[in-house]
């Protein structure tokens, strides 16, 4: 490689090492590979068992024709078996790169073939292809990087040997970065799963289902995203909101599970769950638990200052507390409980509108209403089953066999 290409690779390596989100990383790998080889289009596949998972695609032609958002929507993830019949499958099985000058003129006896279905469907003409394996440090293939149509002076030309060399070097860096990102994602998922499971302990005491936690988390993140908060802030709210009622672990069952109206003394004891939650979560150096503490403490504050435990008002209530307050109440109104059926949508809307500026921040409520379709999708995806509700009502209904599945 020439010195200029080596410098480019160093810059790319630095960029790859700083990205932890897998989808963002794959897109960066592909865009850098395009830039280094003047490729018009490309794709990244990841290996999972005996399948190739199509993860990301980029195309200068389609971006110009449809825009980036529509292009990504059209080329969604799919999977295919790893066989020598396809070009990407051949590279995955043999761990050998392919530099094909013209896919319509393959040598006789070639084990692989080019499938023109995408070209025909989307009016594209694939000519040259450069397809390389992405190998980790142990020599195991974890993915395939596929580049299409190198462009020179507006014309499609074959990929050069130098293109192949620099792309192979990039793929080695990419494989390490992908492996690290996948490990990071696994750790995040395990951490989030732990949060959900621990938070479920408080919900079971209060005759709630674990799906309540998930719905509140997804509602909260949706609101944050639609309000235009930074991606990192949206994710923190998503991870922190499951702990909103963790303080109920410190409330006596006689109060939590009382079927009738609480006395003033009992109601005051119940309100202590916000303080108990904040005490459980305080003094942590983890950013997500700091957000959890704020949410646990403030999600029962009301916009007009009539909430608890501090009687905060308006913007004096932390934003994450205002967001989760709405998500929590909406889920309580819209979900079946062991003591009630879900309220009709019209009644829920009327209750929320009547509470505008009183219980809820008007801006947050407006965002929520504008995204009703997305809210309903979350509700549908995480519905409580009859079995969920039966288990909450009576723990004796839980069979050992169910726990061992």
Fold of domain 206-403:
Hypothetical protein af1432 (1.10.3210)
Instruction: Indicate the pLDDT class of residue 400, thresholds 50, 70 and 90.
Output: very low
Residue the block writes with tokens 């060399």: 165
Cα separation, 133 vs 1, whole angstroms: 19
Task: Render pLDDT for 358-384 as a digit per residue (tens, 0 to 9).
Answer: 999 999 999 999 999 999 999 998 887
The reply to whether omega before 309 is within 30° of 0 (cis) is yes
Q: What is the average pLDDT across 139-148?
A: 92
Residue 391 has pLDDT above 70, yes or no: no
Instruction: Indicate the pLDDT class of residue 137, thresholds 50, 70 and 90.
Output: confident
Instruction: Indicate the pLDDT class of residue 110, thresholds 50, 70 and 90.
Output: very high
Q: Where are the domains of the chain?
A: 3-181, 206-403
Q: Which residue has the higher pLDDT, 336 or 126?
A: 126
The beta strand positions in 159-225, using DSSP E, are: none
Residue the block writes with tokens 């599970």: 257
Task: Render pLDDT for 194-244 as a digit per residue (tens, 0 to 9).
Answer: 776 677 666 666 555 568 888 999 999 999 999 999 988 999 999 899 999
pLDDT > 70 in the chain, percent: 86
What's the pLDDT score for residue 403? 41
Write out the catalytic residue numbers.
248
Q: What is the average pLDDT across 276-284?
A: 89
Cα separation, 219 vs 242, whole angstroms: 11
Fold of domain 3-181:
Beta-Lactamase (3.30.450)
154-160, Cβ contacts within 8 angstroms, sequence gap of 24 or more: 156/40, 156/125, 156/127, 156/128, 157/128, 158/99, 158/101, 158/102, 158/128, 159/37, 159/39, 159/99, 159/128, 159/129, 159/130
């Amino acid at each position: 490689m020439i010195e200029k290409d080596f410098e480019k690779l160093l810059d790319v390596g630095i960029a790859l090492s700083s990205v932890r989100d897998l989808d963002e990383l794959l897109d960066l790998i592909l865009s850098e590979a395009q830039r280094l080889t003047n490729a018009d289009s490309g794709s990244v596949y990841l290996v999972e068992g005996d399948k190739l998972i199509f993860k990301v695609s980029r195309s200068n032609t389609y971006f110009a024709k449809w825009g980036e958002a529509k292009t990504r929507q059209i080329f969604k993830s799919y999977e295919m078996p790893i066989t020598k019949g396809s070009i990407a499958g051949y590279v995955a099985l043999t761990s050998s790169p392919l530099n094909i000058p013209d896919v319509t003129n393959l040598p006789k006896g070639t084990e692989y073939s080019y499938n023109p279905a995408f070209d025909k469907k989307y009016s594209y003409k694939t000519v040259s292809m450069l397809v390389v394996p992405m190998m980790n440090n142990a020599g195991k293939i974890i993915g395939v990087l596929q580049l299409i149509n190198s462009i020179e002076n507006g014309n499609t030309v074959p990929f050069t040997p130098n293109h192949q060399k620099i792309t192979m070097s990039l793929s080695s860096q990419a494989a390490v970065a992908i492996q690290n990102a996948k490990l990071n994602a696994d750790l995040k998922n395990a951490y989030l799963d732990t949060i959900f499971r621990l938070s479920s302990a408080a919900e079971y005491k209060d005759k709630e289902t674990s799906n309540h936690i998930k719905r509140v988390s997804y509602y909260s993140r949706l609101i944050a995203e639609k309000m235009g908060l930074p991606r990192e802030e949206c994710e923190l709210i998503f991870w922190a909101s499951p702990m909103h009622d963790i303080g109920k672990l410190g409330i006596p069952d006689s109060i939590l599970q009382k079927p009738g109206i609480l006395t003033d003394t009992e109601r005051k004891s119940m309100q202590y769950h916000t303080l108990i939650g904040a005490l459980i979560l305080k003094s942590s150096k983890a950013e997500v638990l700091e957000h959890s503490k704020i949410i646990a403490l403030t999600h029962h504050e009301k916009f007009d200052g009539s909430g608890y435990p501090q009687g905060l008002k308006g913007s004096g209530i932390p934003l994450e507390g205002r967001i989760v307050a709405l998500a929590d109440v909406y889920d309580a109104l819209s979900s079946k409980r062991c003591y009630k059926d879900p309220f009709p949508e019209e009644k829920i809307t009327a209750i929320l509108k009547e509470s505008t500026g009183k219980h809820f921040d008007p801006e947050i409520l407006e965002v929520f209403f504008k995204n009703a379709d997305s809210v309903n999708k979350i509700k549908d995806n995480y519905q409580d089953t009859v079995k969920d509700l039966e288990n909450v009502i009576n723990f004796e209904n839980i069979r050992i066999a169910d726990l061992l599945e």
